[in-house]
């Protein structure tokens, strides 16, 4: 059987890290064929000390300190010292089934894939009306677009990207490691490189992991604002429009549809009506969708607000990213 290297970038994950490591230890894959590289970005909580308790008990678990504190730097640290035939990136906010690694190895060999991934089900640990609203929004097409790994499929499908990729080690020798200039989207950019070099990426519809989302609106907004900003910066820093997909820029297009007509009133007095029409249409559609997915676990207003926070924070993040380009270009 093949050896696997599990790389886990983390920072301030004391609420999740114990349960996460236990999920890995409960897996049915032979422990002598796995190594767990937990790469801590100088946590200010008890994350590192919790991990050390495991490294003292299990020789295949290692703790490394990421002085750079960014995710791609941590991933590359792990890749460079890894001994596995396959490399998987996991998040401490996630939960995996007991047969996860054995299934990934089986399908990677069967499909001869350069990278494979699984369905990513969004959940929250502390279930409140607010956190349940966030969960529903991140599981809706109106929230995440046509991301197959989020909305789910029932088969095996060739795709352009997957979360928590399971890579052949040789892929990194062929196309290089993660782009350390990208604080976000480094996995998407790498997957695009794989495809441009003739590689194949599969999404497995019969296996899933669980990702625990942010549970309050402030953290939810901050996360999506940063993602939106880095979508624009990713295209700029890689000098390639195909580093991402069109769906990543829909929130920016929406925000511009509201702002540009208002600014145009300087020259055309009635153009502001386009902004009003755009916003009213958005709210009507949003209200209908929110009503459709609301259940007893949350409320219509919480879901409506969660959608608006997602779309506006993401879109304004991309807008700020555009302004940042002027600063980076100097």
Same domain, residue pair 170 and 250: no
Same domain, residue pair 49 and 100: yes
- Rounded Cα distance between 302 and 186, Å, is 32
Same domain, residue pair 89 and 199: yes
Same domain, residue pair 72 and 155: yes
Kind and range of the H or E run holding 116 = strand 115-123
Q: What's the confidence (pLDDT) of residue 330?
A: 53
Q: How many structural domains are present in the chain?
A: 2
Same domain, residue pair 193 and 315: no
Same domain, residue pair 295 and 146: no
Range of the domain at 276: 237-329
For residue 174, how many other CB atoms are within 10 A of its CB? 13
Same domain, residue pair 262 and 204: no
Same domain, residue pair 57 and 150: yes
Structural domain includes residue 226: no
Same domain, residue pair 62 and 201: yes
CATH number at residue 121: 3.90.550.10
Same domain, residue pair 146 and 189: yes
Structural domain includes residue 78: yes
Structural domain includes residue 121: yes
Q: What's the confidence (pLDDT) of residue 257?
A: 87
Structural domain includes residue 228: no
- Rounded Cα distance between 290 and 292, Å, is 5
Question: Can you tell me whether residue 313 is helix, strand or coil?
Answer: helix
Q: What is the DSSP string of 174-237?
A: HH-S--TT-SS-HHHHHHHHHHHTT--EEEEEEEEEEEE---SHHHHHHHHHHHHHHHHHHHHH
Structural domain includes residue 224: no
Same domain, residue pair 196 and 297: no
Structure tokens at 61: 């678990």
Structural domain includes residue 37: yes
In tens digits, what is the pLDDT along the chain, a chain of 330 residues? 799 999 999 999 999 999 999 999 999 999 999 999 999 999 999 999 999 999 999 999 999 999 999 999 999 999 999 999 999 999 999 999 999 999 999 999 999 999 999 999 999 989 999 999 999 999 998 888 778 888 888 899 999 999 899 999 999 999 999 999 999 999 999 999 999 999 999 999 999 999 999 899 999 999 999 999 999 999 989 988 877 878 888 899 889 888 877 777 766 667 777 888 888 999 999 999 999 999 999 999 999 999 999 999 999 999 999 888 766 555
Structural domain includes residue 149: yes
Same domain, residue pair 210 and 242: no
């Amino acid at each position: 059987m093949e050896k696997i290297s599990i790389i886990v970038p983390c920072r301030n994950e004391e609420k999740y890290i114990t349960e996460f490591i236990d999920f890995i230890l409960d897996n049915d894959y032979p422990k002598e064929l796995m190594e767990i590289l937990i790469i801590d970005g100088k946590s200010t909580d008890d994350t590192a000390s919790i991990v050390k308790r495991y490294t003292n008990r299990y020789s295949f678990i290692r703790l490394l300190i990421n002085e750079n504190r960014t995710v791609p730097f941590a991933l590359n640290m792990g890749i460079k010292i890894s001994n596995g035939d396959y490399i998987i990136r996991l998040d401490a906010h996630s939960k995996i089934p007991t047969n996860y690694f054995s299934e990934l190895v089986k399908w990677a060999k069967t499909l001869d894939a350069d990278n494979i991934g699984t369905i990513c089900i969004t959940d929250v640990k502390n279930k409140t009306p607010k956190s349940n609203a966030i969960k529903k929004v991140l599981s809706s097409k109106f929230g995440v677009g046509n991301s197959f790994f989020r909305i789910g499929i029932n088969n095996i499908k060739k795709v352009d990207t997957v979360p928590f990729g399971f890579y052949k080690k040789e892929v990194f020798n062929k196309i290089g490691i993660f782009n350390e200039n990208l604080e976000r989207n480094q996995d998407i950019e790498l997957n695009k490189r794989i495809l441009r070099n003739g590689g194949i990426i599969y999404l497995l519809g019969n296996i899933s992991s669980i990702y625990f989302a942010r549970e309050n609106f402030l953290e939810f907004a901050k996360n999506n604002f940063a993602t939106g900003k880095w979508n624009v910066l990713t295209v700029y820093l890689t000098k390639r429009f195909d580093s991402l997909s069109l769906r990543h820029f829909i929130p920016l297009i929406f925000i511009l549809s509201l702002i540009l007509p208002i600014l145009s009133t300087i020259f055309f007095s009635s153009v502001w009506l386009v902004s009003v029409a755009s916003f009213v249409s958005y709210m009507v559609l949003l209200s209908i969708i929110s009503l459709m997915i609301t259940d007893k676990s949350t409320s219509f207003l919480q879901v409506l607000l969660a959608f608006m926070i997602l779309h506006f924070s993401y879109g304004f993040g991309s807008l700020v990213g555009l302004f940042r380009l002027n600063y980076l270009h100097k």
